[in-house]
Amino acid sequence: MRKFALLAATALIATTTSITPTLAQTSPAAEQSQASANLASIIADYENWAAEQDPWTAGAEGNRDALSRLPDISREGELARRAPLTRFRDRLATINPDALSADERLNHTLLSRSVGLDLERLDLDQNRFAFNSEGGPEAMAGYLAGATRIATADDAEAWLLRLGALAGYYDAALANARRGIETGMVQPRIIVDRVVTSTTAAAAFTLENDPLMRPMATRPPSISEAAWADLTGRARGIIVEQIVPVRQRWATFMTDEYLPASPVEPGAIGLGQRPGGREAYAFFARWYTTTEMTPDEIHALGLSEVARIRAQMQEEMAAAGWTGSFADFLTYLRTDPQFYVTTRDEMMMHARDIAKRADDQLPALFNTLPRLPYGVRPVPEEIEANYTTGRYNPGSSVNGIAGAYMVNTSALDQRGLYELPALTLHEAVPGHHLQIALQQELGDLPWFRRNGDATAFVEGWGLYSEFLGYEMGIYRTPYERFGRLSYEMWRACRLVADTGIHWMGWNIEQARACFRDNSALSELNIQTELERYISWPGQALAYKIGELTILRARRRAEEALGDDFNVRRFHDAVLLGGPVPMNVLEQRIDAWIATERERAE
């Protein structure tokens, strides 16, 4: 993959100013050539600048300097991005889109949208929420350690530099959280209570159980024993001298300053109850769904989806031979021992079996598959209590790291096996791993498009992949089909609950009702998910909006093409342009339908 020289943003802007000829001075061909050149220059400059701002992504693509850094999350660092973003916006505005090719016009549209939204988001001061229900800097550090592979001395040196930057990251998060207290933008007590527990536990780590030592657990053959002893000794020194004190400061701050400032009123859990919160939530609704839907429209859509899915669930209950009530069937699924395992190894065995069955069916549905493999791994025990039931962590082919389907193996009496097929399809294949790994390998696309932030596309694809389980033969019993519908109901209830909490002022019990009464999710999963939505406003809206868009586009293609519809080519049309907003995806599929018609003639 392409590597980027990480130049200073000021130098980039100073050296890339260009003058576009007026239409009166140039022919159409010359104007097109100049517009193309100007756009290419802007994209190159933007990508160099963005890679410097985002060492996560740049490091995953092999940038050695990025692997040694952490992002600047301070308010000062965030505000410093306004000037370069404004200059990119203004440069893009000088280009006449009509003078560009179709591909260039799309690049211009997507980059203009990204820059504009980033500028708009700066005013929200989003980093005042310095943590969510899964934690703050301690959670980020643990994730980073798990995604770091050391194969050479250079890898180890890069990791040591990142460790050295971690204390500054903690301090910036602490300053952000203090600013949140000062401005009334604080997480509610229900979230803070949970995070105080995890920060206190992190402050008590010893070198023997510290997740930050995991990348150095095994000496690579390329490093001598003496050199490895030096490297591990330096890592221990950084942790003891720099990270342990700042972890303790963070834990003390959370207990002594943040906890007393967090609201405890039942109706004060939503963003809409914070100063400027309604405006912020309306923005997040647009950001995560990539649409112009209002929170009220999203709420109404959620209610209609709940009703539709509930009718399908009744059909699967009948297929299972159940003659009792819906509520009793949910109780049966949540409590009968046949639906649960008792050991962590059993849970991992079931997850791996489903994943391999899914692998076996991919060629029937996909022309293009990623080269990067994935593994099925347990969620680390030190974070599993606050973690969702499953997750996908992207890999990096250039750094030798496979993608990871993470399975939560705690509280096994709360994790029904009837849900596991849908979870696996969503997080592994054909869901997040297939889509994200393939996205990483789209070398013909600009870097900013390969790494585009279109949550509705990514999460919509994951939910659509659960639907594909029917065509793949993954759901083998009425219980597993009901589990899949329960997972779809979960995402429909997200639309209802997220807007209810953050827009309509609901308390947690009002939000809980949708999940409790309409899905087979366990009490633990419902609580974990509700806390996630409370602490991360708007993200939960992306899944259903994206899935419905993809399904709508597919049905339109099936109706238009009839027997000439080819699902493998359809999936190429969806995936090979990278993650895009929903309106762009629909336009792409409409263009693909026209091409397929020509192919069939």
Domain boundary among 225, 240, 264: 264
pLDDT at 30: 84
Q: Domain of residue 402: give its range.
A: 278-546
Cα 384 to Cα 445: distance, rounded to the nearest angstrom: 36
Distances (CA, A) of 56 to 61, 216, 359, 590: 9, 19, 28, 34
pLDDT at 166: 98
pLDDT tens per residue, range 277-322: 999 999 999 999 999 999 999 999 999 999 999 999 999 999 999 9
Instruction: Give strand pairing partners of 135.
Output: 132
Q: Is residue 461 part of a domain?
A: yes
Would you say residue 17 has pLDDT above 50?
no
Claim to verify: residue 468 and residue 388 sit in the same structural domain: yes
Claim to verify: residue 302 and residue 439 sit in the same structural domain: yes
Cα 73 to Cα 172: distance, rounded to the nearest angstrom: 6
Claim to verify: residue 180 and residue 253 sit in the same structural domain: yes
Q: Is residue 1 part of a domain?
A: no
pLDDT at 130: 97
Mean per-residue pLDDT, 55-74: 93
pLDDT tens per residue, range 543-575: 999 999 999 999 999 999 999 999 999 999 999
Would you say residue 15 has pLDDT above 90?
no
Would you say residue 452 has pLDDT above 90?
no
Mean per-residue pLDDT, 35-63: 95
Classify strands 374-378 and 390-393 as parallel, antiparallel or unpaired: unpaired
Q: Is residue 283 part of a domain?
A: yes
- The least confident of 4-18, 242-256, 297-311, 508-522 is 4-18
Mean per-residue pLDDT, 403-423: 98
pLDDT tens per residue, range 86-104: 999 999 999 999 999 999 9
What does the DSSP 8-state code read for residue 101? Answer: -
pLDDT at 8: 32
Q: Is residue 420 part of a domain?
A: yes
Would you tell me how many other CB atoms lie within 10 Å of the CB of residue 112? 17
Would you say residue 22 has pLDDT above 70?
no
Q: Is residue 562 part of a domain?
A: no
Residue 551: HSE in the Cβ half-sphere, 13 Å Cα cutoff: 14
pLDDT tens per residue, range 511-526: 999 999 999 999 999 9
3-class DSSP string for 237-299: HHHHHHHHHHHHHHHHHHHHHHHHHCCCCCCCCCHHHCCCHHHHHHHHHHHHHCCCCCHHHHH
Residue 9: HSE in the Cβ half-sphere, 13 Å Cα cutoff: 18
What does the DSSP 8-state code read for residue 193? Answer: H
3-class DSSP string for 318-374: HHCCCCCCHHHHHHHHHHCHHHCCCCHHHHHHHHHHHHHHHHHHHHHHCCCCCCCCE
Mean per-residue pLDDT, 520-542: 97
Claim to verify: residue 432 and residue 361 sit in the same structural domain: yes
Would you say residue 13 has pLDDT above 70?
no
Closest listed residue to residue 207, CA positions, set 195, 199, 216, 196 = 216
pLDDT at 386: 86
Would you tell me how many other CB atoms lie within 10 Å of the CB of residue 303? 14
If one counts the domains in the chain, the total is 3
Mean per-residue pLDDT, 338-353: 98
Would you say residue 10 has pLDDT above 50?
no
Where residue 182 falls among pLDDT bands split at 50, 70, 90? very high
Where residue 25 falls among pLDDT bands split at 50, 70, 90? low
pTM (two decimals): 0.93
Claim to verify: residue 297 and residue 351 sit in the same structural domain: yes
Q: Is residue 270 part of a domain?
A: no
Residues 6 or more apart whose CB falls under 8 angstroms from that of 351 comprise 376, 405, 407, 420, 423, 424
Q: Is residue 573 part of a domain?
A: no
Would you say residue 23 has pLDDT above 80?
no
Token duo for residue 462: 């994951």
Claim to verify: residue 345 and residue 492 sit in the same structural domain: yes
- As a whole-number percent, the residues of the chain with pLDDT over 90 amount to 91
Claim to verify: residue 257 and residue 291 sit in the same structural domain: no
Domain boundary among 529, 546, 563: 546
In angstroms, how far is CA 464 from the centroid of its own chain? 16
Cα 308 to Cα 466: distance, rounded to the nearest angstrom: 17
Mean per-residue pLDDT, 332-356: 98
pLDDT at 11: 31
Claim to verify: residue 396 and residue 468 sit in the same structural domain: yes
Token duo for residue 24: 């009166």
Mean per-residue pLDDT, 417-446: 97
| Averaged confidence pLDDT in the chain | 94
* Strand intervals (E) in 474-597: none
Residues 6 or more apart whose CB falls under 8 angstroms from that of 566 comprise 596
Nearest 5 degrees, angle CA 309-CA 314-CA 319?
125
Domain boundary among 242, 264, 286: 264
pLDDT tens per residue, range 468-478: 999 999 999 99
Claim to verify: residue 323 and residue 216 sit in the same structural domain: no
Would you say residue 415 has pLDDT above 60?
yes
CB 481 within 8 A of CB 475: yes
pLDDT tens per residue, range 470-502: 999 999 999 999 999 999 999 999 999 999 999
CB 543 within 8 A of CB 491: yes
pLDDT at 251: 98
Q: Is residue 57 part of a domain?
A: yes
pLDDT at 14: 32
